[in-house]
Chain A
Amino acid sequence: MRKWMIVSLFFGFTLSSWAQESEPSEFVVISKAPKQARVAIPVFRVRAQAEDAFQLTEELSSLLVKDLEKSGLYSFIPRNSYLRMEPISEEIEDWQAWNLIGAQVLIRGELNELVPGQFRLTIKLFDIPSQKLAVGKNYSGPKASLNRMIHRFADEAILWLTDKRGPFEARIAFVSNRTGRKEIYFADTDGRNVFQLTNTKKLNLSPCWLSGNMLYYTGYDQGNPDLYLLDLSGKKSLISSHPGLNISPAVGPGGKKIAMAMETPGNNLDIYIMNPDGTKPQRVTTHPGADLEPTWSPDGYHIAFVSDRTGSPQIYWIDLSKGSEGEGNYPLRLTYYGNYNTSPAWSPDGRFIAYSRRIDNQFDLFLIDLKAEEGRSEIQLTNTPYNEEEPAWSPDSRMLVYSANPAGNYDIFMISIYKKEPIRITDWSSDETQPSWSLNLFEEGG
């Protein structure tokens, strides 16, 4: 009996590993970019006294290249194929030279140090076919704000190309157990300038941005999982501290309402919506199963959420315009495959609901395409031997940030819906999880 088992296991293993090798890709392209441009970006010019000024401009040029490449909307032409780096004169570009290498867009920048420590960054975007200056910006500020200027310009370049602003001048909040306890952190969209927001040495989970500089999270400060609103200046307000769990905060469109999961007396977890300050809670779900992880539709009339009312967690949605769950208003089930579907995230443009499905003890990301022609259809975004979980959308609905553990520990990764190459955002050896992408800071006026 044993011998037979060993032999068949051996065959099964070789067959499956052979099958895996012929697997195409671990990630898929969700959508074809409606527009894409090939861009040439020579190294920015620099007029500064500082010794590291040249290195600084190289880094800034490279940061712009990375943002534009990440978006999936621009494709960078490597500098070694440029026929010339400099313009013919101050006002005249060698359009032919750029045309010859297939560039459609040219971006030039110049860094000036006005006084020691204060810089001006000038960036210009040229549309090569029409031979015109399309976007020109001047930014000034201290050295620490230079990265942010680059992110802002990347968003401008994307706005020009697609009529929709890019997502890079924003913050990514996440949970890390780097200190031994789970605390809330945030960083730039490229993972730099990490800042530790909480330091309670207790448990802190589920950050969700209300605006560019305020976020909700669940903290165990008082020995119970309570919902707090934290402002980047450090000011903390207690929003909900009902007995039991106060978890899964989700901010509605325009920040007018928030949703969360709380216990209804009788100890059943339900979805509630309320004002951003925690007042006027209204119960949404009434089923005795556990209902949690709400996510809002962009029109504010639907909430998708996780419920284990059939025995295992699945994703449902409910129409809020009909009031709470009850006669004539039943949640509609969205996921029918797999026995563990969680962490739904509705894209701000309403097109997709991203979520995480557990298949044989390992998580992958899926998307429900709500606008697909044949009705709702599903796309498996990741198909790796490790876990991808907790997806969150960029404010422009074109990128996802999520947590994954290819190296064993969890880190934050990012991917464009137009590409299939994930980008690593954090690289600590600890676990970084539950990312949240803030609104665009420029649009917020912050």
Chain B
Amino acid sequence: MKRKSIWTVLVVFGLIFMVSCGKDAKKAIDEAQASIDRAKTAEADKYAPDEFQSAESLLSKARDQFEEREYKDAKANAISAKDQAELAYKRALERKGAEVSTEPRPEQEPSLAYNVPSLSEEGIAIEEQAKAVLKDINFDFDRYDLTELAKEILVKNAEWLKEHAEVKIIIEGHCDERGSEEYNLALGEKRAQSVRDYLVSLGISPARIKIISYGESMPLDPRSNEEAWAKNRRAHFAIQK
């Protein structure tokens, strides 16, 4: 009697377990399907085709696995399918939004986050974007070599420059007010050159870069203290018109 009951209990548990697994898997598959449907209505198959197709094939796999009673795998794939579908939905909306603003909107402010193809607005948009994205880098006193932080900033600046291959820049070299006027012109020039050389090593074409030194003559902060001086020892990015 005891052995039979243990087995019964085990079988019952097993069945319950299987059924609940199956239920979870079913639930995951249903949810994945819902997300895919939602993505479809947002035209994700058109605007985020890679993500959408990936979601669909994952769901298809999950369904097959469910039929084979491979509930765990089915659930895992269904969850992945749902994530992909949601990603497809999000990206589709972004890209669709960009296309919609193609129509000229003369009464509205030029859209800054998207590439507005209309001619006069684009130039302003790029410059505004550049100003926000291309950060100044700073130098140590009397030095023109790049600090680790400077290199990190330049790597990010270079990424933006690669995404906007039509943009040409001017790198300005600046110094703090200490030191002689003439030698500071030379130091500012070296700072601009350091930055240019590093950008070129990151793959930016030298033809896109001009440099100029302003020495100590155009401080960002006119005060005479360490804080101001540190800000003034910089290379600044400007856009060639």
Contact = CB atoms under 8 A, between A and B. Distances in A.
Contacts of A361: 178
Interface residues of A, number: 33
B220 to A, nearest CB: 15
A267 B182 contact: no
Contacts of B213: 225, 245
A343 B186 CA distance: 13
Contacts of B190: 290
Nearest to B240: A223
Nearest to B224: A408
B180 A356 contact: yes
A173 interface: no
Given A224-B212, A245-B189, A269-B189, A292 B178 contact: no
Contacts of A203: 214, 217-218
Contacts of B212: 223-225
Given A223-B212, A361-B178, A434-B181, A182 B217 contact: yes
Interface residues of B, number: 19
Contacts of A313: 180, 183
A358 interface: yes
Contacts, number: 66
Most chain B CB within 10 A, of A175, A206, A244, A312, is at: A244
Interface string A388-400: 0110000000000
A224 to B, nearest CB: 6
Nearest to A339: B142
Contacts of B77: none
B193 A269 contact: no
A433 B211 CA distance: 26
Interface in B138-171: 142
Interface in B195-241: 211-215, 217-218
Interface string A255-291: 0000001010001010000000000000000000010
A381 interface: no
A343 B180 contact: yes
Given A182-B217, A203-B214, A267-B193, A225 B185 contact: yes
B117 interface: no
Nearest to A267: B193
A248 B142 CA distance: 20
A269 B190 CA distance: 10
Interface in A401-446: 433-434
Contacts of B142: 312
Most chain A CB within 10 A, of B179, B186, B213, B214, is at: B186
B168 to A, nearest CB: 14
B186 A290 contact: yes
A203 B178 CA distance: 18
B175 to A, nearest CB: 13
A265 to B, nearest CB: 13
Given A224-B212, A245-B213, A267-B193, A293 B182 contact: yes
Nearest to A340: B179
Contacts of B179: 340, 342, 358
Contacts of A225: 185, 212-213
Contact of B185 (A175, A245, A312): A245
A244 B214 CA distance: 11
A361 B182 CA distance: 17
A210 interface: no
A300 to B, nearest CB: 22
Contacts of A306: 182-183
Given A245-B185, A247-B186, A308-B186, 9 more contacts: A224-B212, A245-B186, A267-B193, A290-B190, A292-B182, A313-B180, A313-B183, A356-B180, A358-B178
Interface of A: 175, 182, 203, 205-206, 223-225, 244-245, 247-248, 261, 263, 267, 269, 290, 292-293, 306, 308, 312-313, 340, 342-343, 356, 358, 361, 389-390, 433-434
The 5 closest A-B pairs by CB, nearest first: A342-B180, A290-B186, A293-B182, A342-B183, A248-B182
